[in-house]
Each structure stands twice: as structure tokens, then as C-alpha cells.
Amino acid sequence: MRVPVKWIRDYVDIDISAKELADALTMTGTKAETIEYLGEEISNVVVGKIMSIEKHPDADKLQVTQIDVGKDELVQIVTGAQNVSVGDVVPVALHKSTLPGGIKITKGKLRGVESNGMLCSCKELDVEEKYMDEKSKNGIWILDSDLKIGQDIRDALDLKDAIIEFELTANRPDCMSMIGIALETSSTINKPINLPENKFNEIDEEFDFEVSCEDETLCPRYMLRKIKDVKIEPSPYFMQRRLIEAGVRPINNIVDITNYVMLEYGQPMHAFDAKMLETDRIVVKRAKDGEKFVTLDDVERQLDSSMLMITDGIKSIAIAGVMGGQNSEITDNTTEVVFESANFEQDSVRLTSKKLGLRTDSSSRFEKGIDIQRPELAIERACYFIDKYGWGKVVKGQKDTLKEKIEKREIKVNAKKIIAKLGNDIEIEQVIKILEKLFFEVSRNGDELILKVPFNRNDIYMSDDILEEVARIYGYNNIISKNITSTITFGEKTPQKRFEDSAKTALMSNGLTEVITYSFIGEKDLDMINFPKQNLLKIINPLGEDTSIMRTTLVPSMMNVVKRNYSRKNEFFAGFEIGHIFIKEEDKIEPTQKKQLVGAVYGDKTDFFDLKSMLEGAFENLGIFERRYEIENTNELFHTQRCAKIFVKDNVIGYIGELHPIILDNYDIKKRVYMFVIDFDMLFESKFDVKLAKNVSKFPAIKRDIAFVIDEKVLCNDIQDLIEQNSNDIVESIELFDIYSGSQVEKGKKSMAYSIIYRGKDRTLTDEEVNPVQENIINKLKEKFDAYLRM
């Protein structure tokens, strides 16, 4: 932001140079980027008046002028400019003068006629043409006729002092104004501030407008004041000059007032031509989808219902916080004006500006946040200028949608803690003085300070904010460097993280490769796996539809990895991922965050049991015992006949099986894919912290094989459980080594062959001890499952 130092001098008595001021403000957090010294290179250039003009005798395009520069004799100057006339007041560079860029001007002859200087254009005085009236463009700068003839041009045009350009951070919107910088200057150089009082006269006439706001969240405050008998004319030179130095083009007195007040107070304003409004109402409401609106820059823009508009109850007249409309702009024929000064919700303005591709001085301020007191200060300042210069009559009263009295935000801080964090031994009284210099209202209760935050400081909320304020005014360069004194601690991983690391190692040791995917997915990813769209955690400002929600399952992410490998002709894939999933529960403000483990394999010679063996190996390594599997045919993710629940003790911790063919078709995958999905948090809770071990028996084992025919629906787990329950504590291991169904056994049956190892813990077993146990197992199989031995 460009800040003319002369403007700041209106409020603060600055007794240091512009460079010293810029350095001081930089040290207190308001970073100065550059300093531009106005008129520094200009010398011996004065205000002159053209007394006569004659054609050059030997050049058709040259003119010989006689200029009054306040001396006894007129100065003769030859010029090629065609925009000058007798009586014009112009800048005159005399003999031995200097212009910006180090240009030297001396007397000489042009085509045989003596010329004792040069008439200057705005460019030659380092002022951009865009700020000039049409007559002064592409020619000599035609000045105000009231200027004193012979006066130094720098004094006449206020081309002195300096302009400091500041780089402001988004958290300090209060500094995007001259008064904001003046407040910072006052605190930095310890000088009192003198702010405008803005008193003005009003005419006793009823203000007949009504104001309503349909969405008070997007517009917390909206103010109007009416001006009658308006005179449209150029604004005073001082106002034009300050606008130019701040980078704003002067237009006319009414528009210039709104821009001047915006620069001065940081509060954007707008002026409507009251007679171009169709009603005596202002209604603040959202636009209609597809609505068309022509802005002041003569561009038709398409609106949507997310955008806040200012209307007269019938038509839209401005895009709130961004730009006014062409249908109510100030023209040379305007006689009645309504001033708007409002507070708009910053996110709404930012999104509107972004959607329309329209960023203005107004939107750049609103989108960073403006305090709710400022609209009133700004509108009163505008009325002050109207009354002071006689540009109209201020109608008595104002319209204001604010319903509650504005109160300063109050926070409490511990001064001792602030001093301790600061690291310097300073007194609490010094902290109080610094805060009072920053315009906080301070009361003390022991070590506690009760602070009332200035209205303009929307960035102050907590104790650390106050610490920063004290530190920057006290001076970072004054803080003493000290060695860090603290207790050294050793960081370590949590039990959950150590278990996760072990799980990754176990899974990789069993042939699975870890994959890592993003936490964002799209709703169409859930459609691909027929997953219910309930309790979704949607992202407010997503990068796109494919990343619009936080994932509620890892399955879509894993399937995208599988699809990518399959489409790139990889014949085999085996991977896993451990990651967070996010669930938005209705009765909770914060989303629930859980961890899930997903693994998938495919390959020409790969089947369900390959994946199960990988998982079993990992479970064994992790100490996950008492696990079992049961058939599951209701999970829509898996094939109805090729899926199992995974139990640890009596808790279902996940599922394993072949993916449903419909889901594979959704991904255009022509191979069978096997997957497990496990609740990783439950898996962690199911682990044994101590690995169990037992002595190896020194006694010989007896091996018995058993083959029987049984109903094909009986599960292997059930058979194994029955053998263990009837082992009489001498069965060491059970292994299924053959399973057959076909022409050799009847339909609906299967043949199963087990190898059972018997071993005693404290003795050598005999056939007399083993035979009854073996017979009992056979009898129990027959009783419970109607099994019979196969011959």
C-alpha cells in the first residue's frame, strides 16, 4: 500500500525523516518496501502564465510564447505543444533547471529563435498521464489558474515529502488505511495522535429511505445517509493529489470522497444516484442464479445465489463489497446522492470476487475483515467533506441495520507470564504503558491485566497476541539473547505407533507391499464400491470433485491402486495400506477419526488362501491369537459365497474374501481380486503384549491320520475345534492335508484327511493312551456332523 507521509502528518507530529520512519515502522511489524521521494530531482521549475503565443517564423509546428514567471521581464520559450492557449497556467523549467531522471534544461535556440527554458508535461514532472484531465494528456500540463505565478512548482503542486510503500500481511487489515498507519506511527515514535472530529451541519428534512437485510450473517451492518442539492465538480487539488499519490485516479468530488475515505479509514464506501433508484428502499439480499448485472466497468457479469447484492427492492444496484452498478452511477447530472457504508462478511466477498474474476480496492479490504465500528466513522467523514466544501446538503438522520450496541472485546492476560516469555526483566508498568500506547484500555488486578481491545484490532484474541504486541513495540532488537534453559526429554513412539510399525513389517514380511494414498476421495469413488453415503465429511473448499470428501473407507483408494497396476499390465499385485478414515457423527462437533487396514492381491495363480496365509502369517507375528473365520454372505463388497468374517475372540475385526464381480466390472478389472478390510484400532486392542512360548517336549510323538466323509457345508474350523475339545490334552497339532469332492464321494459330501500329532508333556505315550482319544474323536465327528470314515 502506498502511503504519502504528508497524509500521516495530518494526524501525527512526525519529527524524523521518511527513511527513519520507514525503518522504525518495519521494526515494529509494518514492513516498508520502498521509499519514493517526490520532486527530489526537480529544481528551478516554477509556475508560469502564458501571456502571448506567436507562430515560429521558420517552423510550422513550433510556437513562440511569452511567459510570466513572476519576474520583471517575460521569459520567451519556444514549444511544440498544441494544447496551450493564452492565459493558461503551466509548469516552466527555467534556464539551468533539473527534471526527474537528471535531465538538465538550459537556454538555447530552436530554428534560430531564442528559447529560455521549457514548458513541462506531467510525464516530465514524473506524474502519470492517467491522472490528468483530457486537455493535459499528450501535451503541456495545464494547471489551476489560482496558483501563484512564480511559485516553486514543488510547493504549488505539493510535490514534496515522500511516499512509503508498505507490504502488509493479511492479519493486519487495520493497516490498510492512512489512519491505521497513523496509529502504528503514533505507537512506534511515541507521539500523540490527532484524529478528525468530522462535525457537519444537517438540514431538518425527513430521510425517507428504508433499509432491510435478508441475510444478517453476510451483512452485519448496513448504513445510509442522503445528500441533497449535490453539485458535481472536480475535487480540491489536495484531495486529487493524495489520491494520485496513493494510486487512485480522481474522477469527481462525490466519487473522490468515497475513494478518499476508503484510503483514509480503510472502509470502502459507495455512492448511488438516488434519482436512478426505482424505490425509496435498499434491500440487501442474495442474487438469483443466472442473474445478469452490468458493473461500473461496463462489463455484464453472471451472478449466482451465493453472491450478496444491494438492490432497490426491484433491481440490483451493486455487488456487495465488490463494485457498484452502471444503473446507479454518479454522473454530471446527479443532484441527489445516497452514501453507503457497510460491513460485509469477508469470506462471502472473497468468494464472490474470485468467482467473478473481479478484484477491486473495495473487495481487497473487505475480504481481509473490517471492524463493525468503521462504517459509521467513514460515512460521517464523507458527510463532513460534503458540508465543508458546500457540495450538497446532508439530510438529517441515518439508516443503520445494527441492532445492538457495539462493545469492545475484553481479554485477560497474566503479565508475569508475558514478561517470562519475553525473556527480559521488565516491570508490569512498562507492559501497561506499551499496551496503552497501542490504544488498549488496561485495568490491573495483581498480575492479571484486563484489556479492552480497540475496535480496529480484529487480530487480537488471546494472550500470545498480546505478547506479540508488547514484543514488537518494546523492540525485538532490545530483547536480550539468552541460552535456552529447559528439561531435556527423549521422544518416543506411542504404543499404537509401535504396533503400526510392527504391523507394516509383518505384512511386508509376508509378501505384501505398502501403498500410501491421499485422504481425499470423491463421492463417485463410494459409488464404485456401492458404499453408503452417510456421515460424509465434506471439504468446504475442495480442489475438485475427485477430492471433495474425507475418505470413510480405504477401499476406493486401494482399488484405484489395483486398477492402475492392472491397466499397466502388471500380472501380479499384493499391497496393503494402514491409514485414517473420517466419519462425521451427528451428535458430535468434531469428526471421528479411526484407522483401517486394507490389503489386496490378484494374479493368475493367486487365490483366497494365498491372501489368507499372508494375513495369518502377519497375525502370528503380531501376537493376534484366538482368531477364527466364519462365512459371511451379506457384505456387498465381497462375493456372496467367497467371504468370511475375521474374529478375534468374540469380536468381528474385519472381512476377507473375493471382491464382488459387479465392483470389479465398475473398475473394468478382468481378474479376480482378493481383499481384506480390518479395523486397525480393534486389531491393536486384540494383541497380546507378551508373546507366549512353551517348552519343547523331549518325548516322542505319535502320528495318526484320519480320513472321513462329511457334509460339504461343515467348516474346517468346526472340525478342528471338535478335535481340540476332545484331545484329552495330548493332541499337539492338527493339520488338514487333503480335501476332496468329486466322483469318488457322493453328491453334497466331501472327503477330508487330517494328520493329528499326539505327544505327552511328561511321558512317552503308548497306543493304549492314544487309541481311546482317537476313537472318541471319530465318534464325536459321527455324532455331531454325521461323518464316517473313508476306506
* CATH assignment at residue 465: 3.30.56.10
Known binding residues for Mg(2+): 459, 465, 468-469
- For the chain, the straight-line distance linking the first and the last C-alpha, in angstroms and rounded, comes to 97
Do 279 and 387 belong to one domain? yes
Residue 673 is predicted with a pLDDT of 96
Task: List alpha helices for 267-373, DSSP H.
Answer: 346-356, 361-366
Output DSSP code: residue 762: S
Grid cell of 729 as nine digits:
490334552
pLDDT exceeds cutoff 80 at 363: yes
pLDDT of residue 585: 79
Whether the CB-CB separation of 548 and 542 falls below 8 Å is answered with: yes
The DSSP result for 415-483, as a single string, is HHHHHHHHTS---HHHHHHHHHHTT-EEEEETTEEEEE--TT-TT--SHHHHHHHHHHHH-GGGSPP--
Instruction: Read off the pLDDT band of 606 (50, 70, 90).
Output: very high
Closest CA to 235 of 224, 214, 250, 218: 250
Residues 152 and 173 in one domain: no
Q: Which residue has the cell 461343515?
A: 714
Amino acid found at 660: H
8 Å CB contact between 102 and 121: no
Share of the chain above pLDDT 70, in %: 99
Known binding-site residue numbers: 459, 465, 468-469
CA distance 596 to 289: 42
Whether 694 is covered by a domain: the verdict is no
State the Cα–Cα distance between residues 709 and 748, nearest whole angstrom. Answer: 10
8 Å CB contact between 470 and 422: yes
Predicted local distance difference test score (pLDDT) of residue 312 = 93
Please say if the pLDDT value at position 387 is more than 90.
Answer: yes
CA dihedral 623, 626, 627, 630 (to 10 degrees): 180
- Total structural domains within the chain: 6
Return the number of other C-beta atoms located less than 10 Å from residue 742's C-beta: 8
For the sheet containing 31-37, what is the strand order?
Answer: 2-4, 162-167, 31-37
User: At which of 370, 400, 430 does a domain end?
Assistant: 400
* CB neighbour burial string for 356-391, b if at least 16 within 10 angstroms, e if fewer: bebebbbbbbbbbbbbebbbbbbbbbbbbbbbeeeb
Element spanning 53, H or E: strand 43-56
* Contact assessment for residue 452 and residue 409, using Cβ atoms and an 8 Å cutoff: yes
Cell 528559447, residue located: 115
Give me the CATH number covering residue 743: 3.30.70.380
Query: HSE on the CB side for 736, CA within 13 Å?
Result: 14
- What is the dihedral angle through the alpha carbons of 291, 295, 301, 302, rounded to the nearest 10 degrees? -20
467 plus 616 within the same structural domain: no
Query: Is residue 725 domain-resident?
Result: yes
The two counts, helices (H) then strands (E), for the chain are: 20, 40
Residues 257-276 have a mean pLDDT of 96
Summary mean pLDDT of the chain: 92
Residues 513 and 630 in one domain: yes
CATH code, domain carrying 265: 3.50.40.10
Asked if 481 and 437 touch (Cβ cutoff 8 Å), the reply is no
Q: How far is residue 771's CA from residue 363's CA, in Å, rounded to a whole number?
A: 92
Read off the CATH number of the domain in which 649 is found: 3.30.930.10
Confidence band for 61, pLDDT divided at 50, 70 and 90: confident
Q: How many CA atoms lie within 13 A of 778 on its CB side?
A: 16
Mean pLDDT throughout 490-497? 88
Enclosing domain of residue 57: 43-156
Indicate the pLDDT class of residue 482, thresholds 50, 70 and 90.
Answer: confident
Decide: 317 and 254 in contact? Cβ < 8 Å: no
Do 179 and 106 belong to one domain? no
Residue type, 666: N
Assess if residue 322 is contained within a domain: yes
Whether residue 205 is contained in a domain is answered as no
Per-residue pLDDT band at 628 (split at 50, 70, 90)? confident
- The residue-averaged pLDDT of 606-622 equals 93
| Residue 224 and residue 294 in one domain | yes
CB proximity list for 200: less than 8 A, separation 6 or greater: 380, 383, 384, 386, 387, 388, 394
Q: Are 780 and 706 in contact (CB under 8 A)?
A: no
Same domain, 392 and 437: no
Decide if pLDDT at 691 tops 70: no
Q: Would residue 625 count as lying in a domain?
A: yes
Half-sphere CA count of 199, side-chain side, radius 13 A: 1
Lowest mean pLDDT among 224-238, 272-286, 617-631, 687-701: 687-701
Rounded to whole angstroms, the Cα distance separating 155 from 149 reads 12
What pLDDT is recorded for position 692?
A: 63
Is 757 found in the same domain as 623?
no
Tens-digit pLDDT profile for residues 634-648: 899 999 889 999 999
The number of residues in the chain equals: 791
Query: Do 455 and 524 sit in the same domain of this protein?
Result: no
Q: What is the model's pLDDT at position 540?
A: 85
Residues 150 and 65 in one domain: yes
Residue 299 has a pLDDT of 94
Residue 690: pLDDT over 70:
no
